Amino acid sequence: MGAIVGAALAISWVIYIRTRAVPCPGAVTLEFHPPLADPGKYRIQLTGASATPCDFTVALPLDGSAKEHAITGCGMALQLRTQFQDGQASITGLTFAAAPEHFELHVKRDAEAIYDADLQPKYAPYTTTRAENAHFCGDRALVLPPCLRGSSECAPFPARCSAPGDCAPKQACCLTPEWGRDFGPKAASECSSESSCFAHLGHLGCRADSDCPKDMRCAETSLSADFSPSVLVCQGR
């Protein structure tokens, strides 16, 4: 009888091992602020997120006919998120199927470092079920890695204009560092109408009070740290 029971238990164990659901790996979503926007070849490396360093490349502009990008050592699901602004694609985020306590992120455009950070995800108190997401289920975390200040993708952004004199007649120089962080360096400064600039909470660039509306003056603010060269903006009197 003992041998029969032992055999039955063994068979049950084999069936359980073969039929049980694979554990959810968890997932970390990285949001890039600013996004990776300038043309070039981006090399993205994740160390400590998987058993071996994860390394892959993607080029901008995106080429829909391109073959699978070179990927080495990842061993986990990866998903890039992109967006289009003025007809140009940029990479805004990356999700990978793992739940490390900490990991290192390195992003280079050609030879220039854009992101270089040691990150510790804070996971949500609830998990994502397999029914909700088959590839990225389990513990989930959202991470906003710091961009390397001074790199070509990050603040301080190049000021493509700094006053109405840099723009066409009846246009203002609109400075919006938040747009630079969301859409890339070129979006941080542009020539537009005053009404359009105010509508998206932009700031009017100026060199003198005469560049501003009558109820405003030209002055320096903390906004100057977001641009190179430094800028002045119109403020209420």
The class level of CATH for 24-143 reads mainly beta
Of 233, 170, 230, residue with least CA distance to 196? 170
Q: What is the mean pLDDT of the chain?
A: 87
Q: Token pair for residue 96?
A: 């990978």
Indicate if the pLDDT at residue 11 is higher than 70: no
More confident: 225 or 207: 207
d(C-alpha 134, C-alpha 155), whole Å:
37
Q: What is the pLDDT of residue 66?
A: 54
Let me know: does 69 contact 53? Beta carbons within 8 Å: no
- CA 181 → CA 57, 150, 153, 157, 237, distances in Å? 22, 13, 9, 9, 28
- Would you say how long the chain is, in residues? 237
Identity of residue 117 = A
Q: What is the pLDDT of residue 102?
A: 96
pTM: 0.77
Instruction: Give the SS3 label for residue 108.
Output: strand
* Backbone phi and psi for residue 131, each to the nearest 5 degrees, phi listed first: -65, -30
- Tell me the pLDDT band of 124, cut-offs 50, 70 and 90: very high
Indicate if the pLDDT at residue 84 is higher than 90: no
- For residues 130-152, give the mean pLDDT: 94
- Of the ranges 8-17, 25-34, 215-224, 227-236, which one carries the lowest mean pLDDT score? 8-17
- Of the ranges 4-13, 45-54, 59-68, which one carries the lowest mean pLDDT score? 4-13
Indicate if the pLDDT at residue 87 is higher than 60: yes
Q: Which residues of 91-119 are buried (b: 16+ CB within 10 A; e: fewer)?
A: bbbbbbbbbbeebebbbbbeeeebbbeeb
- Tell me the pLDDT band of 63, cut-offs 50, 70 and 90: confident
Q: What is the pLDDT of residue 128?
A: 95
Identity of residue 106 = H
All CATH 2.60.40 domain ranges of the chain, comma separated, are 24-143
Q: How many CB atoms lie within 10 A of CB 211?
A: 21
Q: What is the pLDDT of residue 4?
A: 45
Q: What is the pLDDT of residue 98?
A: 96
